[in-house]
Protein backbone atom coordinates (compact mmCIF):
# COMPACT_ATOMS: atom_id res chain seq x y z
CA UNK A 1 0.00 0.00 0.00
CA UNK A 2 2.83 2.42 0.82
CA UNK A 3 4.53 1.87 -2.53
CA UNK A 4 1.22 2.31 -4.36
CA UNK A 5 0.52 5.59 -2.53
CA UNK A 6 3.98 6.92 -3.39
CA UNK A 7 3.47 6.10 -7.05
CA UNK A 8 0.09 7.82 -7.16
CA UNK A 9 1.56 10.88 -5.44
CA UNK A 10 4.38 11.11 -7.97
CA UNK A 11 1.94 10.77 -10.88
CA UNK A 12 -0.22 13.53 -9.43
CA UNK A 13 2.81 15.84 -9.17
CA UNK A 14 3.75 15.02 -12.75
CA UNK A 15 0.31 15.93 -14.10
CA UNK A 16 0.30 19.16 -12.07
CA UNK A 17 3.64 20.19 -13.58
CA UNK A 18 2.46 19.32 -17.09
CA UNK A 19 -0.68 21.37 -16.59
CA UNK A 20 1.29 24.33 -15.27
CA UNK A 21 3.62 24.21 -18.29
CA UNK A 22 0.76 24.04 -20.77
CA UNK A 23 -0.67 27.42 -19.72
CA UNK A 24 1.94 30.21 -19.49
CA UNK A 25 0.95 33.50 -17.92
CA UNK A 26 2.94 36.06 -19.90
CA UNK A 27 2.81 38.62 -17.10
CA UNK A 28 4.02 36.17 -14.45
CA UNK A 29 6.68 34.81 -16.84
CA UNK A 30 8.03 38.33 -17.43
CA UNK A 31 8.19 38.96 -13.69
CA UNK A 32 10.01 35.67 -13.22
CA UNK A 33 12.48 36.52 -15.98
CA UNK A 34 13.27 39.93 -14.50
CA UNK A 35 13.62 38.44 -11.02
CA UNK A 36 16.10 35.84 -12.25
CA UNK A 37 18.02 38.47 -14.24
CA UNK A 38 18.24 40.73 -11.18
CA UNK A 39 19.44 37.81 -9.11
CA UNK A 40 22.29 37.25 -11.54
CA UNK A 41 23.29 40.94 -11.47
CA UNK A 42 21.60 42.10 -14.69
CA UNK A 43 19.56 45.28 -14.60
CA UNK A 44 16.68 45.57 -17.05
CA UNK A 45 16.82 48.62 -19.29
CA UNK A 46 14.02 50.12 -21.33
CA UNK A 47 16.25 52.54 -23.26
CA UNK A 48 17.42 52.06 -26.82
CA UNK A 49 21.16 52.06 -27.60
CA UNK A 50 21.64 55.07 -29.84
CA UNK A 51 25.45 55.16 -29.71
CA UNK A 52 27.22 56.05 -32.94
CA UNK A 53 30.72 55.18 -34.10
CA UNK A 54 32.92 53.98 -36.91
CA UNK A 55 32.35 50.63 -38.52
CA UNK A 56 35.69 48.80 -38.61
CA UNK A 57 36.44 47.30 -42.05
CA UNK A 58 37.30 43.60 -42.19
CA UNK A 59 40.96 44.29 -42.95
CA UNK A 60 41.31 46.21 -39.66
CA UNK A 61 39.78 43.48 -37.49
CA UNK A 62 42.25 42.37 -34.77
CA UNK A 63 44.53 45.29 -35.67
CA UNK A 64 45.67 48.08 -33.40
CA UNK A 65 42.55 50.14 -32.63
CA UNK A 66 44.52 53.21 -31.60
CA UNK A 67 46.23 53.31 -34.98
CA UNK A 68 42.92 52.80 -36.79
CA UNK A 69 41.37 55.63 -34.78
CA UNK A 70 44.23 57.93 -35.77
CA UNK A 71 43.80 57.12 -39.44
CA UNK A 72 40.03 57.64 -39.27
CA UNK A 73 40.21 60.69 -37.02
CA UNK A 74 38.22 63.73 -38.17
CA UNK A 75 40.77 66.00 -36.51
CA UNK A 76 42.80 67.09 -39.53
CA UNK A 77 45.52 68.68 -37.41
CA UNK A 78 46.06 65.40 -35.56
CA UNK A 79 46.19 63.51 -38.86
CA UNK A 80 48.68 65.97 -40.33
CA UNK A 81 50.85 65.80 -37.22
CA UNK A 82 50.90 62.00 -37.25
CA UNK A 83 51.62 61.90 -40.99
CA UNK A 84 54.47 64.38 -40.60
CA UNK A 85 55.98 62.19 -37.88
CA UNK A 86 55.57 59.15 -40.14
CA UNK A 87 57.41 60.96 -42.96
CA UNK A 88 60.30 61.73 -40.63
CA UNK A 89 60.41 58.10 -39.56
CA UNK A 90 60.48 56.98 -43.20
CA UNK A 91 63.39 59.36 -43.84
CA UNK A 92 65.24 57.94 -40.84
CA UNK A 93 64.70 54.34 -41.95
CA UNK A 94 65.71 55.18 -45.51
CA UNK A 95 68.93 56.80 -44.25
CA UNK A 96 69.66 53.64 -42.26
CA UNK A 97 68.98 51.54 -45.35
CA UNK A 98 71.26 53.65 -47.51
CA UNK A 99 74.13 53.32 -45.03
CA UNK A 100 73.87 49.55 -45.11
CA UNK A 101 73.49 49.45 -48.89
CA UNK A 102 76.58 51.62 -49.32
CA UNK A 103 78.66 49.43 -47.02
CA UNK A 104 77.53 46.24 -48.75
CA UNK A 105 78.08 47.69 -52.22
CA UNK A 106 81.62 48.76 -51.35
CA UNK A 107 82.39 45.19 -50.26
CA UNK A 108 80.60 43.64 -53.24
CA UNK A 109 78.02 41.95 -51.01
CA UNK A 110 74.78 43.53 -52.22
CA UNK A 111 73.50 40.36 -53.85
CA UNK A 112 70.92 38.33 -51.90
CA UNK A 113 70.32 41.20 -49.46
CA UNK A 114 66.99 43.02 -49.78
CA UNK A 115 65.40 45.85 -47.80
CA UNK A 116 61.78 46.60 -47.01
CA UNK A 117 60.14 49.43 -45.06
CA UNK A 118 56.69 48.92 -43.57
CA UNK A 119 54.76 49.81 -40.42
CA UNK A 120 57.01 47.58 -38.32
CA UNK A 121 60.15 49.38 -39.40
CA UNK A 122 63.04 48.34 -41.67
CA UNK A 123 63.55 44.70 -42.63
CA UNK A 124 66.90 43.41 -43.91
CA UNK A 125 66.27 40.16 -45.78
CA UNK A 126 69.12 37.65 -46.09
CA UNK A 127 67.69 35.53 -48.89
CA UNK A 128 69.06 32.22 -50.12
CA UNK A 129 70.43 29.44 -47.95
CA UNK A 130 73.15 28.75 -50.52
CA UNK A 131 74.53 32.26 -49.95
CA UNK A 132 74.27 32.50 -46.18
CA UNK A 133 73.90 28.90 -44.98
CA UNK A 134 74.96 25.48 -46.21
CA UNK A 135 72.03 23.28 -47.33
CA UNK A 136 70.09 22.06 -44.30
CA UNK A 137 72.71 23.53 -41.98
CA UNK A 138 72.44 26.45 -39.51
CA UNK A 139 76.10 27.56 -39.52
CA UNK A 140 76.82 30.95 -41.08
CA UNK A 141 78.81 30.95 -44.31
CA UNK A 142 81.74 33.28 -44.79
CA UNK A 143 79.53 35.55 -46.90
CA UNK A 144 76.91 35.74 -44.15
CA UNK A 145 79.56 36.69 -41.60
CA UNK A 146 80.85 39.46 -43.88
CA UNK A 147 77.35 40.87 -44.40
CA UNK A 148 76.63 40.86 -40.66
CA UNK A 149 80.03 42.41 -39.93
CA UNK A 150 79.09 45.39 -42.13
CA UNK A 151 75.50 45.97 -41.04
CA UNK A 152 75.87 45.29 -37.30
CA UNK A 153 77.75 48.53 -36.41
CA UNK A 154 75.17 50.55 -38.37
CA UNK A 155 72.30 48.86 -36.53
CA UNK A 156 74.09 49.31 -33.20
CA UNK A 157 74.32 53.07 -33.76
CA UNK A 158 70.62 53.23 -34.61
CA UNK A 159 69.78 52.11 -31.03
CA UNK A 160 66.54 50.42 -32.07
CA UNK A 161 65.12 47.06 -31.08
CA UNK A 162 65.89 44.20 -33.48
CA UNK A 163 64.06 40.94 -34.10
CA UNK A 164 65.78 38.17 -36.08
CA UNK A 165 63.21 35.99 -37.86
CA UNK A 166 64.20 32.60 -39.24
CA UNK A 167 62.38 31.01 -42.19
CA UNK A 168 62.87 27.76 -44.08
CA UNK A 169 61.58 26.09 -47.23
CA UNK A 170 59.41 23.00 -47.06
CA UNK A 171 61.11 19.64 -47.43
CA UNK A 172 63.14 17.03 -45.62
CA UNK A 173 65.95 18.45 -43.48
CA UNK A 174 68.59 17.06 -41.16
CA UNK A 175 66.44 18.43 -38.33
CA UNK A 176 63.15 17.00 -37.01
CA UNK A 177 61.32 19.87 -38.73
CA UNK A 178 61.85 23.23 -40.42
CA UNK A 179 61.10 24.90 -37.07
CA UNK A 180 64.34 23.64 -35.54
CA UNK A 181 66.36 24.55 -38.63
CA UNK A 182 64.96 28.08 -38.95
CA UNK A 183 65.36 28.60 -35.20
CA UNK A 184 69.01 27.54 -35.26
CA UNK A 185 69.75 29.87 -38.17
CA UNK A 186 68.04 32.83 -36.49
CA UNK A 187 69.92 32.22 -33.24
CA UNK A 188 73.27 32.00 -35.05
CA UNK A 189 72.61 35.35 -36.70
CA UNK A 190 71.64 36.83 -33.33
CA UNK A 191 74.76 35.46 -31.62
CA UNK A 192 77.04 36.92 -34.28
CA UNK A 193 75.39 40.34 -34.00
CA UNK A 194 75.70 40.29 -30.20
CA UNK A 195 79.11 38.64 -29.79
CA UNK A 196 80.91 40.27 -32.72
CA UNK A 197 78.63 43.08 -33.85
CA UNK A 198 78.27 44.72 -30.45
CA UNK A 199 74.46 44.76 -30.45
CA UNK A 200 73.26 44.99 -26.81
CA UNK A 201 71.53 41.73 -25.94
CA UNK A 202 68.62 43.53 -24.32
CA UNK A 203 67.75 45.09 -27.70
CA UNK A 204 67.65 41.95 -29.83
CA UNK A 205 65.64 38.74 -29.98
CA UNK A 206 65.10 35.76 -32.28
CA UNK A 207 62.02 33.90 -33.47
CA UNK A 208 61.48 30.97 -35.87
CA UNK A 209 58.62 30.57 -38.34
CA UNK A 210 59.75 27.37 -40.06
CA UNK A 211 57.97 27.12 -43.42
CA UNK A 212 54.77 28.78 -42.13
CA UNK A 213 55.38 32.19 -43.75
CA UNK A 214 56.51 31.44 -47.26
CA UNK A 215 56.61 34.27 -49.77
CA UNK A 216 55.92 31.88 -52.65
CA UNK A 217 55.67 28.17 -53.43
CA UNK A 218 58.58 25.72 -53.68
CA UNK A 219 57.85 24.65 -57.23
CA UNK A 220 61.30 25.63 -58.53
CA UNK A 221 64.76 25.93 -56.89
CA UNK A 222 64.75 29.70 -57.51
CA UNK A 223 61.44 30.15 -55.69
CA UNK A 224 62.55 27.81 -52.92
CA UNK A 225 65.62 29.97 -52.29
CA UNK A 226 63.42 32.97 -51.46
CA UNK A 227 61.74 30.99 -48.71
CA UNK A 228 65.11 30.07 -47.17
CA UNK A 229 65.81 33.38 -45.54
CA UNK A 230 66.53 35.21 -42.31
CA UNK A 231 64.85 38.58 -41.79
CA UNK A 232 66.50 41.14 -39.53
CA UNK A 233 63.67 43.47 -38.51
CA UNK A 234 64.67 46.88 -37.15
CA UNK A 235 61.57 47.82 -35.16
CA UNK A 236 60.47 51.44 -35.21
CA UNK A 237 60.19 53.05 -31.77
CA UNK A 238 57.46 55.48 -32.78
CA UNK A 239 53.90 55.29 -31.36
CA UNK A 240 51.45 52.98 -33.08
CA UNK A 241 49.50 55.94 -34.46
CA UNK A 242 52.62 57.04 -36.34
CA UNK A 243 53.75 53.58 -37.42
CA UNK A 244 50.32 52.89 -38.92
CA UNK A 245 50.90 55.79 -41.33
CA UNK A 246 54.38 54.69 -42.45
CA UNK A 247 53.08 52.88 -45.59
CA UNK A 248 51.16 56.02 -46.61
CA UNK A 249 54.16 58.25 -45.94
CA UNK A 250 56.34 55.87 -47.94
CA UNK A 251 54.03 56.11 -50.95
CA UNK A 252 54.04 59.91 -50.75
CA UNK A 253 57.83 59.97 -50.66
CA UNK A 254 58.01 57.84 -53.81
CA UNK A 255 55.86 60.21 -55.88
pLDDT tens column, 69-117: 555 555 677 788 889 999 999 999 999 999 999 999 999 998 889 999 9
Domain ranges of the chain: 2-58, 68-254
Query: What is the arithmetic mean of pLDDT over 228-254?
Result: 90
Length of the chain: 255
pLDDT value at residue 199: 94
* pLDDT at residue 124 in the model: 93
**Most confident option among 129-138, 177-186, 232-241:** 232-241
Q: Read off the pLDDT of residues 164-209 as tens digits, 9 standing for 90 and up.
A: 998 877 775 677 788 888 899 899 999 999 999 999 999 999 999 8
Nearest to 245 by CA among 64, 31, 19, 26: 64
Q: Is the dihedral of CA 221, 227, 230, 234 positive or negative?
A: positive
Topology adopted by domain 68-254: 60s Ribosomal Protein L30; Chain: A; (3.30.1330)
CA trace torsion 192, 207, 166, 250 (10° rounding): -100
Handedness of CA 20, 26, 31, 36 (dihedral sign): positive
pTM value is 0.66
Amino acid sequence: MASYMDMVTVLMCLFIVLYAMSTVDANKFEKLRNSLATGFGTVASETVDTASGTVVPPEFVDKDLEAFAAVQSKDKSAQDEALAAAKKEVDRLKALEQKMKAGLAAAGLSQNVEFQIDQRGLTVKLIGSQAFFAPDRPELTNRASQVLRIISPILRSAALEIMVEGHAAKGITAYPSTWELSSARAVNVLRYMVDRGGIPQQRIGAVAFGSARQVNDDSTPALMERNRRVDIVVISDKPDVVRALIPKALKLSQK
